[in-house]
Amino acid sequence: MPARITKEDYLFDFDMLGLAPALNDALERANFTQPTPIQNQAIPLALEGHDILGLAQTGTGKTLAFGLPLIDHLLAQPNKPAPKTAKALILAPTRELVNQIAESLRTLTKMTKLRVATVVGGQSINKQIMFLSRGTDILVATPGRLIDLMERGAVDLGSVRHLVLDEADQMLDLGFIHALRKIAPQLGTPRQTMLFSATMPKQMEELSRAYLTNPQRVQVSPPGKAADKITQSVHFVEKPGKPAKLREFLSRETDALTLVFSRTKHGAEKLMKGLVADGYNAASIHGNKSQGQRDRAIKAFRAGEITVLVATDVAARGIDIPGVAYVINYDLPDVPDNYVHRIGRTARAGREGEAIAFCAPDEFDLLRQIQKLMKIEIPVASGAAPEAAEAAKPGGRQRNRRRGPKPQGTNGPANRRRHPRRKSAA
């Protein structure tokens, strides 16, 4: 089992860490002065070279928690990467998250000679092969595309001495554990490995034992807990009433950035087109959109050019837009953990945010699973839970309280035996 860090606060500023001057300058340019709790705990240990098992909900600054010590280590190695090689590998489950991580790292390496490369599906593999042919310091990748490049001989991972697994729980959910088993044996040794996750399923413990060596465990909140500054509420509404309820919310603050989650790709697209037809400034991202379309939609949303982004769980992780004021769960997710990741798109970087859920009668069990995971009761803002509504009907409570055997009748025990049908006289 990994050693557990119990000290909650190391009370330092970034400039007290002894980071490379280029990193301190980059942090100052980006107005980063005070580390978040996960950064507070993870960075000193990672700088010392420890393997890290980091547990924190989304929006807590995990990218800098592994990015800063990683870059600091690489800046101490001035030699250029050989062709087709990388010094550090960061694996993430989605294209959006890969792009977000790379963007953050490029902000920190802008005034250095370190190169950051990304490889994801949905983009030209030939261009990626050409870029990798020159070698890179940091490679950020989705596991599937990385394996494609490995099989083509386009990348050699033998020089990798730093491995980061970000949002590792989602990689497990998506079946990337098989890809990881192909990738890990190709990496160089000895190496430093950092694994970050928002939840801690049993399989994550097994993953940490397999790929981390005497890791230091840092945890800033219980797994499955949302950020403290998110105000949550649920509205019980029949499915046909959801479109009107959504428009009611969107009309309150037309300029507020609002992220709306739909369960299916078809549903997200249909919802977005309906909003656009009604005059709302909306776009959508889901698995049927090309990478270019998804990137353009996120860029426009970040810039405020569109104010409503309708998405499937492809956006539950990987969208780091501090200005998101509202997250609306138009459909509740099938996987409770995804609710935590969805609402983590708001209240980022210390801001406040609001998460609103619509719950139709057939989603009530999903809501109960979410509340069980988070160990809270989400406040009800309107409507009534199906079981409460049933109990409120005339005679409802009396029917529920009845005890004892059922009366003998058509459904009683004496009549449960099936009898052959009599042939008609006709």
Q: 135 and 75, same structural domain?
A: yes
Do the domain assignments include residue 402? no
Reading across the β-sheet that carries 324-329, which strands appear in turn? 282-285, 308-311, 257-261, 324-329, 353-359, 230-236, 380-382
Same domain as 103, residue 21: yes
Least confident of 186-200, 217-231, 385-399, 409-423: 409-423
Instruction: Print the domain residue range for 271.
Output: 230-384
- Percent of the chain exceeding pLDDT 90 equals 57
- Distance between CA atoms of 163 and 158, rounded to whole angstroms? 12
Query: What does the pLDDT look like over 216-272, one tens digit per residue?
Result: 999 876 555 565 678 999 999 999 999 999 999 999 999 999 999 999 999 999 999
**Structure confidence at residue 228 (pLDDT):** 64
Whether residue 149 sits in one domain with residue 296: no
Of 167, 197, 219, the one marking the end of a domain is 219
* Domain-ending residue, one of 191, 219, 247: 219
Q: Is residue 183 part of a domain?
A: yes
Domain match, 39 and 111 both: yes
- Pair 306, 357 in one domain: yes
Q: Which two tokens stand for residue 415?
A: 């009549």
CB 359 within 8 A of CB 237: yes
Q: Cα-atom radius of gyration of the chain, to the nearest Å?
A: 25
Q: Is the pLDDT of residue 359 over 90?
A: yes
Range in 116-120, 185-189, 310-314 the model is least confident about: 310-314
> Does residue 406 lie in a domain region?
no
Q: Are residues 212 and 85 in the same domain?
A: yes
What value does the mean pLDDT take over residues 392-410?
Answer: 45
Based on the fold, state whether residues 77 and 99 are members of the same structural domain. yes
Instruction: Assess whether 178 and 313 both reside in one domain.
Output: no
CB 205 within 8 A of CB 323: no
Assess if residue 131 is contained within a domain: yes
Are 203 and 280 within one domain?
Answer: no
Q: What pLDDT score was predicted for residue 395?
A: 54
Q: Which pLDDT score, from 0 to 100, does residue 214 have?
A: 94
pLDDT for residue 299 is more than 60: yes
pLDDT tens per residue across span 42-70: 999 999 999 999 987 766 788 999 999 99
Co-location of 281 and 188 in the same domain:
no
pLDDT at 404 over 70: no
User: Which pLDDT band holds residue 22 (cuts at 50, 70, 90)?
Assistant: very high
Q: Is 410 part of any domain?
A: no
The predicted model gives 350-377 an average pLDDT of 92
pLDDT at 141 over 90: yes
Can you give the CATH number for the domain in which 159 is found? 3.40.50.300
Domain-located, residue 261:
yes
321 or 349, which is more confident: 321
Q: Which of 11-20, 28-37, 82-91, 263-272 has the lowest mean pLDDT?
A: 11-20
pLDDT at site 164: 97
Confidence of residue 400 (pLDDT cuts 50, 70, 90): very low
For residue 123, what are the contacts with CB-CB under 8 A and spacing of at least 6?
Answer: 291
C-alpha 273/C-alpha 282 separation (Å) is 8
Into how many domains does the chain fold?
2
* Same-domain pairing of 155 and 236: no
State the pLDDT confidence band at 182, using cuts at 50, 70 and 90. Answer: very high
pLDDT value for 198:
75
Residues 50 and 11 occupy one common structural domain: yes
List the single range of 135-139, 239-243, 396-400 with lowest mean pLDDT: 396-400
- Residue 414 located in a structural domain: no
Q: Does some domain include residue 397?
A: no
Question: With the C-alpha atoms ordered 315, 318, 324, 326, is the resulting torsion angle positive or negative?
Answer: positive
- Domain end (from 189, 219, 249): 219
